[in-house]
């Protein structure tokens, strides 16, 4: 099978990015049709693990009971460390959540503290 350098199988990318612990788990989730890919403004539900994704595509999936959107920044040749995996994607909600007043809370003294989000 010949793949171009600017595209990668979705199950392989999900495993490289450490979204799922094993590649077979990533393959099973994709095969059940639980992932949506937005590419060039077109959103589609995919059910084939061999579907190719590219940098700039947005993935929407259910993870730990909440909907997660990931924007693919880069593709990987191998599964690296956690910090290398985090460099492969961006959570589009990060910038909006950090700036929103909902993440700040007041203490008894009236000072504002940033809420620490757990991942």
Domains of the chain in sequence order: 8-93 (3.10.290.10)
Residue 83's pLDDT is 94
Residue 64's pLDDT is 85
Number of C-beta neighbours around residue 75 at 10 A:
18
The reported pTM is 0.73
The mean pLDDT values, 10 residues at a time, for the chain of 119 residues are: 73 96 96 94 94 96 90 95 95 57 47 58
Residue 118's pLDDT is 63
53, 59 contact by CB (below 8 A): yes
């Amino acid at each position: 099978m010949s793949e171009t350098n600017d595209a990668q199988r979705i199950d392989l990318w999900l495993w490289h990015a450490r979204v799922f612990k094993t590649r077979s788990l990533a393959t099973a989730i994709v095969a059940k049709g639980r992932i949506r890919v937005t590419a060039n403004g077109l959103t589609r539900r995919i059910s084939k693990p061999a579907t190719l994704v590219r940098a700039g595509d947005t993935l929407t999936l259910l993870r730990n009971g909440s909907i997660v959107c990931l924007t693919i920044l880069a593709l990987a040749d191998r599964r690296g460390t956690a910090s290398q995996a985090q460099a492969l994607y961006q959570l589009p909600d990060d910038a909006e959540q950090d700036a929103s007043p909902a993440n700040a809370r007041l203490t008894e003294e009236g000072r504002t503290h940033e809420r620490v989000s757990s991942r």
